[in-house]
A and B are shown apart, each in its own frame.
Chain A
Amino acid sequence: MSSPFALLSLIVALPFLGMLFVLTARDEGAVKGRNAFNVCIFTIIANIILIWRIFMILNEKSRELQLLEKFSWLSTPNINIVLGVDTLSLLLILAVHLAVLIGLSGVRNNLYKQKSLMVFTLLFLSMVTGFFVAADIFSFYLFFEAMLVPLFMIIGMFGEVKKQDLIYRFFLYNFIGALILFSATMLIYHHQGSTTLEAVSRLPLKGGIGFYVWGAVCLSFLSRIPIWPFHYWISSINSGIRNPLAFVITALMPLTAIYGFIRFLPPHFSSGIDNYVVWMNIIGVITMVFIALIGFINKDAQYKIFSYITVYYIMYLLGIFTNDEVIVFNIGYSLFGFIIVISALEVLSGYIIHKEEEAESTSRGFLCRARKLSFVYSFMTLAAVGLPVSAVFVNNFLILSKLLGTNIKMGMLLVFALVIAGMTLLQELFRLKDDDKSCRLGKSDDISLPWFWFMLFMTFILLMSFVKPLWFVISE
């Protein structure tokens, strides 16, 4: 199926155009930060409408990439840029847009480098959308690397702890990952001739070449997931960021790696890749337990959320390694709810930390006085720990059953990590609900009514996704 009106190019281009608008927006005096913010919101909502439109014309049951758009780039060598989507990738694009929208709600009153933040947010959104619609290895690689530029700038501006050291590490790891993926891309092109992503997973790569290519692919994607021992630098970055939007954006990085694995892994594991999969399973489970336990003892709310996010991302990664098409689809459904939940939690947590710093008071017991915040925060925490208020619940049941069916011991360790990660979030919730007389935050510090309604709308989306994952699709 080809795309009418080049819709896929449009959803990649629109945030980019929005970014150009933001660059030209006046940003001084009474409108400081407002113009840029409004353009950003408008652009994202417009893109969400376009994404919704694409859902309408998409065959949701098909596993093939649809609405293909092809652009000739080079004739010698023959390289074409191909764009295409399936339900999974479009669902992830929508989730990323909603996550950024939630993140934006958390910085609506921010004045510190607001314009720059909006510029790089829209640039990131454009690149990440391009990454999800990429249907050939070259555009996939380009967008995979290009999204690092805005991310690098955002971390540089808002990563507050040990800035220089973190940016150095961020650049180093991602640069090495990029080089490795580039060499793998070249080898794939050399062996394949064709450049479509769908063909990559069916490549008969055997022997030394297969061993190298799959090793390079795994290593480059793993450099973006906080998997042991790479978790340390990512956790340092995440826990150092105090801007909620910046945190949401950095928390989306592992998603790109998860998606990369979905697109690259072959339907049947050959001898080139099965060794890696075994090791990644082992390292994945160790990391889950490791990070869950560290999150459990850590007192920093940001780190707790980070540990929860990591544990779940690795569960999805292990789900992908089961190499089951149905499970991969369920991971998509589950990720949709998961991303909304973590974004909302992060933004609310950021708000609480901000209020805590503003009033120079402890936040222990804050939720007893802020009813609206308490409702939304409690709901999101309950959704996060897996109680049935989002698509996460049913789909995680399927993912977990597959993992338990594959290897019961590994599955039980995974359950242990999930329980600890859930308890970590509950621990934080009850700290905020534990009425403390020394807390100076009061009813007046509660979230505003419009923001409360916005968050309620997000809970509505979560609830609907529990009833039916693609509830918003009205097929033509």
Chain B
Amino acid sequence: MVFLLVNRNKRRRLWPILMLGLLVVLSVLFFEHYRLLSDKTMAYQWLSYEELQARFIITSDVLLGKALQILLPLTIAMLYLNLISKREEYPLNAGNIMLLCLAAFILMFSSQDFIQLMAGSCCFSILGFYLINENTAKNKFIFYNFIAEMAIFTALAIVYAKTGDVRLNTLDAFVRNGWHKDLVSILLIIGVLMKSGMFLFQNQLLDLQKLSFNRMLYGALFVAPLSGLVLYVKLHPLFLISQYTTPILYGILCCTAVLSLLGMLFQDNIKAKILYFYMLFFAFALFEIHRAPENFVAQVIPMLPSVLLVGWGLMLASVSASDEVYVSQMGGFARALHWNLLLTLFVTAVFIGSVLQIENTWMVWSFAGVSLFALAAILHAVYLGKNNADEKVTALLRNAGWLYAIPILAGSAVSFYALNTWQAPLFWGMLGGFVCLWLLLPQKLVNLFAENESLQENDWQSTLYRLIIVSPLRLLGRILWLAVDFVVIERSIIGTLSGSMEFLENGFNRLQTQSGKNYLILTLVGIALLLLNIGIYVHE
């Protein structure tokens, strides 16, 4: 918040460096003292309405501690990337938003009632709005997130209407009674899937490819999708009350996995490939959390560093090739970018290690298989085969400088050591398999549809939504406006009223004119009124 007050145009690098330094110091202090806090709660009585008692709570429980042990270093890494990214115009702004996102995560994760949970979730939407500095991407992000927030807002409003309590630990009462269970459950699942950018709602995630790498990586990993996962963890009992939730969820997650694989393989833009990989990861994460919410801290969060590193590793190829993003314009970079290649392979090894530490299920193997296959194909197309880059790019090919390389090397080494899965024979087996795939997969597999503009450029999903949702709504609005407002109200009702008034006015005017007939009519009306009055009097 303090850094928000700083002029972003003055000392553009100094302030972010100070911010980074401050976060490093705070992180060191955090790691030193967190255990001493053990389950301490800071609570502030926020709302004390007669029917609604909401508290602002921050706890120092073990789970939050574990999550922060990973998220804090990752935020430091992202602040660092902001600093070194040449395309980042305002590193201080981006850094501010990243720190506030961390605060929003703590807010959401510590929440013990709906109000704090929703406030945290909406904070992510607002921060995403300010993080994304490209208008179309921002537009899609906020529309999807707004609708998602409204779906969650409505579902929780129904829960509150029935239980009269906003505390999360009273959800069991609602689950037992199952009021509007299908509606609540489906609204929530739609909200979470939208925020996480799953199939049918992936546009908001994929449009991040229009941003610079630092903003894109952060936006795709730590903003809306992460808040979607926290929502799922916190409201887990509510997702299970409807029989439709699991089929809907699994159906969409499967479609997401297929779409991610196709996207990683056939989208030409390397940024899109990274985003599809992240989409696949979040689909896997949702599946794991649906199986058991504890997996969020136990399995999903520990995988974040390796997933981020894979994105970072793929980014290196683009940075070294004069910011070229099309894989079809790459190929055969292994000789010129050998350090990049080694780093990327090391990162992939870390990713394999992180997969191996997860509980052994068919879904884990599917996720690992799909990811590694696609990664091998991408790396082959970039580093092996025929060089398709133009002469200028080829001439300027340089391994990414130490500013990029050292953090990735250090991060991978620390992760590799911490994971401690490299002693397992399976690790070496998987790594060997990956290397074989990388060497053997044909270059043309990835470049198969690179020339197909309708596949690469067209936004089919937006067109579809425009066709099936927006256009009918617009048509309905136009019909209501023209047919009801103009024809029914303006012409008919108001027209009739005006006509009636005019008719009465003319009638009375004519009665006022001098003629024996009018005199007779008025006299008769007067006599009739007199008789009526006498009649009422006699009756009473």
Contact = CB atoms under 8 A, between A and B. Distances in A.
Contact of B478 (A297, A415, A468): A297
Contact of B146 (A404, A426, A468): A426
A297 B485 CA distance: 14
Given A294-B480, A398-B49, A420 B473 contact: yes
A298 B158 CA distance: 32
B477 A401 contact: no
A418 B157 contact: no
A326 B138 CA distance: 38
Contacts of B476: 293
Nearest to B45: A468
B480 A397 contact: no
Given A232-B494, A405-B162, A293 B477 contact: yes
Contacts of A229: 489, 493
Contact of B126 (A387, A397, A423, A468): A387
Contacts of A387: 122, 125-126, 146, 149
B468 to A, nearest CB: 16
A415 B139 contact: no
Given A232-B490, A290-B484, A387-B149, A468 B46 contact: yes
A88 to B, nearest CB: 13
Contact of B51 (A298, A398, A411, A418): A398
A300 B419 CA distance: 58
B510 to A, nearest CB: 24
A114 B44 CA distance: 48
A422 B150 contact: yes
Interface in B473-513: 473-474, 476-478, 480-481, 484-485, 489-490, 493-494
B52 interface: yes
* Highest count of chain B CB atoms <10 Å: which of A330, A401, A433: A401
A435 B210 CA distance: 15
Interface in A381-412: 382, 385-389, 393-394, 397-398, 400-402, 404-405, 408, 411-412
A294 to B, nearest CB: 5
* Highest count of chain A CB atoms <10 Å: which of B46, B51, B123, B149: B51
A408 B154 CA distance: 10
Interface in A203-252: 229, 232
Interface string B120-144: 0011011001000001001100110
A37 interface: no
Contact of A433 (B46, B123, B135, B158): B135
B161 A294 contact: no
Contacts of B156: 397, 401
Contacts of B162: 405
Nearest to A232: B489
B157 A296 contact: no
B115 interface: yes
A456 to B, nearest CB: 12
Contacts of A467: 46
A290 B480 contact: yes
B15 interface: no
A263 to B, nearest CB: 20
Contact of B160 (A368, A386, A397, A426): A397
B158 to A, nearest CB: 5
A112 interface: no
A423 B146 contact: yes
B206 interface: no
Contact of A293 (B126, B147, B473): B473
B396 interface: no
A151 B149 CA distance: 38
Given A408-B158, A419-B150, A294 B485 contact: yes
A274 interface: no
A254 B161 CA distance: 27
Contact of B473 (A296, A386, A430): A296
A385 to B, nearest CB: 6
B149 to A, nearest CB: 7
Interface in A451-470: 467-468
A378 B129 contact: yes
A360 interface: no
Given A229-B489, A398-B52, A298 B160 contact: no
Contact of B157 (A232, A294, A389, A397): A397
B118 A435 contact: no
Nearest to A399: B157
A294 B481 contact: yes
B485 A435 contact: no
A294 B118 CA distance: 30
Nearest to A61: B50
A61 to B, nearest CB: 9
Contact of B115 (A397, A404, A420, A426): A397
A434 interface: yes
B489 A408 contact: no
A368 B138 CA distance: 13
B122 A388 contact: yes
A410 to B, nearest CB: 13
Given A397-B160, A430-B135, A297 B477 contact: yes
B477 A296 contact: yes
Interface in B95-125: 114-115, 118-119, 122-123, 125
Given A290-B484, A378-B129, A394-B54, A404 B161 contact: yes
A474 B494 CA distance: 52
A435 B477 contact: no
Interface in A410-444: 411-412, 415, 418-420, 422-423, 426, 430, 433-435
A126 B46 CA distance: 35
Contact of A408 (B150, B180, B478, B490): B180
Contacts of B114: 397
B147 A419 contact: yes
A326 B119 CA distance: 22
A434 B136 CA distance: 8
B129 A382 contact: yes
Given A297-B481, A394-B47, A397-B157, A386 B150 contact: yes
A415 B156 CA distance: 13
B153 interface: yes
Q: What 6 A-B pairs are tightest by C-beta distance, nearest first? A: A405-B161, A297-B477, A293-B477, A401-B157, A401-B161, A401-B160
Given A326-B51, A411-B154, A434-B139, 20 more contacts: A290-B484, A293-B481, A294-B480, A296-B474, A368-B135, A386-B153, A387-B122, A389-B126, A393-B118, A398-B49, A400-B157, A401-B157, A404-B154, A404-B157, A408-B158, A408-B183, A411-B158, A412-B154, A423-B146, A426-B143
22 contacts: A232-B489, A232-B490, A293-B476, A294-B485, A297-B474, A329-B49, A330-B49, A378-B129, A382-B129, A385-B146, A387-B122, A387-B125, A388-B119, A393-B122, A397-B157, A398-B51, A398-B52, A401-B156, A401-B160, A401-B161, A419-B147, A468-B46
